[in-house]
Chains A and B, each alone.
Chain A
């Protein structure tokens, strides 16, 4: 067995570490503690946080990648499979390996379509593992529950890494535009109005296609197909990040404009404190609640964006399991007669629960942290 650390894994671990560190830091801040207590008192917040935690745990286990060892060759040489598996795959071994021939309905005992059987003419052939597929199986007989569980990592990565990529730009440029003003403000405003005025899908489609060309012309960069899919996933995050920082940036610019006129900022300026220090000490901590709320709100938007983009074919690598690719294949399945509805239903249920939990949590956070909402 050989461990594999994909780029997205590294970033994901980093993110989780940062979230834990941030949580510890926030719980030590007296001015935040009261707000966190308010979050803790809300039953909705606790419930949605628990759901999110389960999703994150699944994604975490799914990010521990390795290449299994192949049976030793006669020469005694150790070889590894080119297939990259994750700890989740190992945990879900029965789900992954208990495949059928083709479609079967949820918890069915027989295949979905009739086949010519050896002895008795055409009939529904019995399943190899009857009654074990909670959400049925797909065209190649893979368990749909397994697919949805694997999709979670993709969705969470897109939702979180994208925010991570856009945050520095949004915060940095927003604060700078609001605080420095003048031509800096003009340039930044020009930048985000321009970006905003290009239809988002168009911009993303163009960048994704370009990125695809680059990846396809350099096959030597990637040792395994998993690495290639991973690179594509990261690139998608970057592209989404670049096109989605404008909203938060504008919010932060406005808030900074307001904070800049506050007397404690004026007092700091009068004391000769440098602008960088004022931004760091006075402005940033007082806009953090906006950043946090925006992050959780954007998260659900991004999860949905991935589904839409993959559906139109400009999202993740077609080999990456994601809600988007599942929905994409479901398009054909829905057109079949009789209809195969369970992959779409499974994807829909999981996405719905994830996005709903994220939104409820965002609302609870806003109620607790936004000083205007509490009044």
Chain B
């Protein structure tokens, strides 16, 4: 019998049904990925397994058999022994899952004491999750550790009870790609070593391709497709799955429109008759609105819940379609915006007199040129200073040194008619107390709100509503409308799609591409998402610890990276074709308040030599457009 067998599980919270009739099985030693966009019920399923539903939530029907026990029948006291014992769980946000006033060692010891009575294995566990110097680390507090380290500590805690099943709820979403790669490797290794089963909850197709044996795709509280990994990636059966693949920017032909799924995931509490995807499905049949589609065999062990009969052979999905080399990039037009030697240092103040005892060198000498009508992507991990660069160029942040030129003119402070910014968080970037028409007209009260709204794909009738009535994607459109109202020539986009679901991200990326074509806008695109860069950008600059380490055209930097950091960054991105590159970086990025001497990357660089520790490497030109800051770039 399988280790975990879930039959017809439904969860209700009040009148809502976030999970509705979900069934799946999980064998020992296997990984099942529950995949889906936000609000599809995947996390709620995991919480139901742990019997940790939020207040008001309960298991409305169904059974959960785990290691021959019916979890729904256990008392809370018995459940406590299962939880953290045979059933371990790790959460998305390591920062809030650890108790800040206890040392990491104590917290793991507590878990050990409860489940095994033996607290001596703390150091052993910390070593098992790859924490260097575990004796010392065990005595540290969570705030002394980096995000990746904390997630490792969380994993160690989950391992304390020697679980047979590990539930990982978006375990790497809060982490940077290079750290994500390390944590995923760790999880996979542990699973194999200990013969654990793993239930992985994620929205990231790349992570699924890297980790899962089986995949369950969820949509609006239903499972809609169950498949082995290879079959799922080779021939996804459900129209939703196919659209998801096409919406991925890394899958698209370069600079083409991305396929999109109209609308967004239906809100909880929608009542459905028939297929839950029907309103967004491009292949919708008349029967779909009337009848709930049955499970159909799509291939061996591959089931799809859809009325449409599609045979595997009919599905042509081009893996790696984005690999086509770009042909003859035209010479870039003259620069519109030039940034020279930009520095932003934040003083660290201590003591009563608030004297500056040091500086956080958030941005430490950055040069950029942005030609008219083109897109420059600024890529880097969190804390590398890329957002600060954007704010300093815009004038929201006073630079410590450096110059910003608009063609020949030197810029000082804000230039609202020329440059505008689109922010990351579509929920934080609109004032909840203002109507849409007021928001759009904020920069220029005389603007024709209806025309601008239509330009970003919204209807003019929305002008009198308030932001809370809109979904994340629509809000991001409103934010774009607001900046378009002042007709700028340069848009600084700070991770504009990272808070959005894949299907909505594609809509926004298409909109940005369209606006670039019709209005000739230039974008400075700040992001950590390599797929988006590949799709949208012309040039790329890679940032590490306040400095640019490599720059060039997209084709050059993404296909033939010269800087070891760029190589590691690209290798760390989980690819949906499941291919793995083995350039690995260890460790965490150092703090910008105290960057390592010499090349900033040397403590993590696989190729570092003695001279890397002594001097910062010069800019080495590789071609007319590509250059890298590394002694070995040639």
8 nearest CB pairs, A to B:
A272-B416, A271-B443, A263-B429, A263-B423, A285-B433, A263-B428, A264-B431, A270-B421
Question: DSSP majority for the B interface?
Answer: loop
Is the Cβ of A271 less than 8 Å from the Cβ of B483? yes
Closest to A261 in B: B428
Complex Cα–Cα for A281 and B445 (A):
14
Complex Cα–Cα for A268 and B429 (A):
9
B73 CB, min distance to chain A CBs, angstroms: 32
List the interface of chain B (C-beta within 8 A of A).
Answer: 391, 394-396, 414, 416-417, 419-421, 423-425, 428-434, 442-443, 466, 468, 479, 482-483, 486
Q: Does A286 contact B (CB under 8 A)?
A: yes
List the interface of chain A (C-beta within 8 A of B).
Answer: 29-31, 262-264, 266-273, 281-282, 285-286
Closest to A270 in B: B421
Closest to A286 in B: B433
Is the Cβ of B396 less than 8 Å from the Cβ of A270? yes
Is the Cβ of B428 less than 8 Å from the Cβ of A264? yes
Closest to A284 in B: B433
Is the Cβ of A272 less than 8 Å from the Cβ of B428? no
The number of inter-chain residue pairs (CB within 8 angstroms) is 61
A182 CB, min distance to chain B CBs, angstroms: 12
Given A262-B428, A273-B442, 20 more A-B residue pairs with CB atoms under 8 Å apart are A264-B428, A266-B396, A267-B423, A267-B429, A267-B442, A267-B482, A267-B483, A268-B442, A269-B396, A270-B394, A270-B396, A270-B419, A270-B420, A270-B421, A270-B483, A271-B416, A271-B443, A271-B486, A272-B443, A282-B431
Which of A30, A31, A267, A285 makes the CB contact (< 8 A) with B421? A267
A76 CB, min distance to chain B CBs, angstroms: 64
Is the Cβ of A281 less than 8 Å from the Cβ of B423? no
Closest to B414 in A: A272
Q: Which of B419, B432, B433, B434 has the most CB of A within 10 A?
A: B433
| A-B contact list, 28 entries, CB within 8 Å | A29-B433, A31-B432, A31-B433, A31-B466, A31-B468, A263-B424, A263-B428, A264-B428, A264-B431, A267-B423, A267-B442, A267-B482, A268-B442, A269-B414, A270-B396, A270-B419, A270-B420, A271-B420, A271-B443, A271-B483, A271-B486, A272-B417, A272-B486, A273-B442, A273-B443, A281-B431, A281-B434, A285-B433
Is the Cβ of B425 less than 8 Å from the Cβ of A271? no
Closest to A31 in B: B433
Complex Cα–Cα for A285 and B466 (A):
14
Complex Cα–Cα for A72 and B483 (A):
76
Complex Cα–Cα for A270 and B442 (A):
11
Complex Cα–Cα for A227 and B429 (A):
53
B163 CB, min distance to chain A CBs, angstroms: 31
| Residues from chain B with Cβ under 8 Å of A29 in the complex | 433
| Residues from chain B with Cβ under 8 Å of A286 in the complex | 431-433
| Residues from chain B with Cβ under 8 Å of A273 in the complex | 442-443
A178 CB, min distance to chain B CBs, angstroms: 17
A288 CB, min distance to chain B CBs, angstroms: 9
Is the Cβ of A264 less than 8 Å from the Cβ of B429? yes
| Residues from chain B with Cβ under 8 Å of A270 in the complex | 394-396, 414, 416, 419-421, 483
B390 CB, min distance to chain A CBs, angstroms: 10
| Residues from chain A with Cβ under 8 Å of B414 in the complex | 269-270, 272
Complex Cα–Cα for A29 and B421 (A):
29
Complex Cα–Cα for A271 and B414 (A):
8
| Residues from chain A with Cβ under 8 Å of B416 in the complex | 270-272
| Residues from chain A with Cβ under 8 Å of B419 in the complex | 270
Complex Cα–Cα for A285 and B433 (A):
7
